[in-house]
Amino acid sequence: MARLFGTDGIRGVANAEPLTTELAFRLGRQLVATLLEHHGLSKARLVVGRDTRLSGPMLEGALVSGALSAGADVFTVGVLPTPGIAYLTRALDAQGGVVLSASHNPFEDNGIKIFSSEGSKFPDSWESEIEARLNGRDVAPKPTGKHVGRLVHYDRAEADYIAHARQTFPFDLAGLTVILDCAHGATYRVAPKLFRALGAQVAVHGARPNGLNINMRSGALHAERLTARMRTGGADIGLAFDGDGDRLIALDETGEVRDGDYVLAICGRHLAAHRRLKTGVVITTVMANLGLEKALGQAGIRTIKTQVGDRYVLEEMIKTGANLGGEQSGHLLFLDHTTTGDGIVSALQLLAVLRETGQPLSALSKCLTKFPQILINVKVREKPPLESIPGLAERQASFEREMASAGRILLRYSGTENLARVMVEYEDGDRVQAIAADLSQLIKAAIGA
């Protein structure tokens, strides 16, 4: 059996192999068995939530049924941002948390992501153990009578999560006009409630989920959709979240998109200036623009880069003791306030800098000058080692010699989709497009879908 768990849980087309209700049921049982063994308990507690996908209730029902049949008490919280489930896993003293979501993927996909009792990434070794259990004989508990698991519909989930997010922000937003784009996803209720409670004047887009429109031409993946609205004037900031709410892309008052690199530069420099940046380091990934490293370096801040994936950023942050890290894509980690990427909390930390400095986002963004960069996604039918594609390594090496130290090329596969990603960054903006197109066409000719 192929490995189920990827870089962000299990993902696939909902109701197709492997992401079926049968798998979800069995996973619920084996998850409980794993938690009981590692926590040394006779009873486990789970928190389970989801995003707005049509398939969410179907998979949730199966997984919850499996967990109940193994004797776990399950707190269901309904539609809630992924970081909300991480927070409630800790707050409710649960041994694990489960999110039914495929984050930024299209609506027909779904996924199962598991949090540990600390509200952080589930240990890799425990995932491997669950996979081994799924491939073997089912020896998970099968209690009867009063020992069957209890289902609790936890209706305080939204209020608890909003209160948690609010306590990370010691200001109000009176006099500020904010436009939110919730991607028709998991933030569609909590984000407007929170920002209005803080006193902001709030306009909302992407807050009418119908099960089919999550991430569709909206949210963090399509933040440019807010640009026209911002440029009509009157708004101080735009905040776009992705489908499960763990990602933020901001827009300044002029309508310019300010991605995760800008947020890391602004918040990193601000925290360092106030001696609140632990270890003087910001953790990011190889996708970060070269301009970010320069902007942080000018403020005496060291940058450490990991492979792509917020889980790798988090691992390095824990290893180094850093309290700020994230990705250009908008996955941002403020470990003083949360244990995982949280779009809403990230937005509040950015707004805190605006409040403390009294400057608009456009002015704060001047600390970062980006190198011209382009990212092309090539749909592929298979994922052989990129170095095995005839001529690709030689072509890349030729372009890298041309760019010398003034640019770079990064070729990799997506961890969650059948895509090859071609990223080119170069101080000569006129050449960036041509180089990226050349490499993309070579990959497409060899393995394009």
CATH number of the domain encompassing residue 194: 3.40.120.10
**CB-neighbour burial class of residue 404 (10 A; exposed 0-12, middle 13-18, buried 19+):** exposed
**Whether 175 and 216 share a structural domain:** yes
| Assigned domain for 1 exists | no
Same domain, 220 and 352: yes
Backbone angles phi, psi at 360, to 5 degrees: -75, 165
Residue 327 and residue 314: Cα distance in Å, rounded? 11
216 and 313 share a domain? Answer: yes
User: Can 103 be counted among the known catalytic residues?
Assistant: yes
| Average confidence (pLDDT) over 251-275 | 97
188 and 94 within one domain:
no
> What is the tens place of the pLDDT at every residue in 380-404?
999 999 999 999 999 999 999 999 8
Domain that holds residue 397: 373-447
The pTM (predicted TM-score) of the whole model is: 0.89
Q: What is the pLDDT of residue 1?
A: 52
Question: Are 227 and 272 found together in one domain?
Answer: yes
Domain boundary among 367, 388, 423: 367
- Quick one: average pLDDT of 239-246? 97
Counting the structural domains of the chain, the total is: 3
Q: Answer yes or no: is 3 within a domain.
A: no
Indicate if 377 and 362 belong to the same structural domain: no
Tell me the residue type at 310: D
Same structural domain for residues 242 and 120? Answer: no
Place 216 in a pLDDT band, splitting at 50, 70 and 90. Answer: very high
What pLDDT shows up at residue 100?
98
Of the chain, the percentage scoring pLDDT greater than 90 comes to 89
Q: Is 174 a residue whose pLDDT tops 60?
A: yes
Domain final residue, candidates 329, 345, 367: 367
Residue 129, domain member (yes or no): yes
> Does 307 lie in the same domain as 211?
yes
Give 114's pLDDT tier (boundaries 50, 70, 90).
Answer: very high
245: amino acid identity, one letter: G
Q: What Cα–Cα distance (Å) separates residue 67 from each residue in 98, 306, 350, 373?
A: 11, 35, 39, 46
Q: Which of 103, 117, 329, 440 is catalytic?
A: 103
pLDDT at 175 over 80: yes
pLDDT confidence of 405, banded at 50, 70, 90? confident
Instruction: Give the tens place of pLDDT for each residue, 281-340.
Output: 999 998 899 899 999 999 999 999 999 888 899 999 999 999 999 999 999 999 999 999
Instruction: Estimate the crossing angle of helix 392-403 against helix 429-447, to 10 degrees.
Output: 170
CATH of the domain at 422: 3.30.310.50
253 and 190 together in one domain: yes
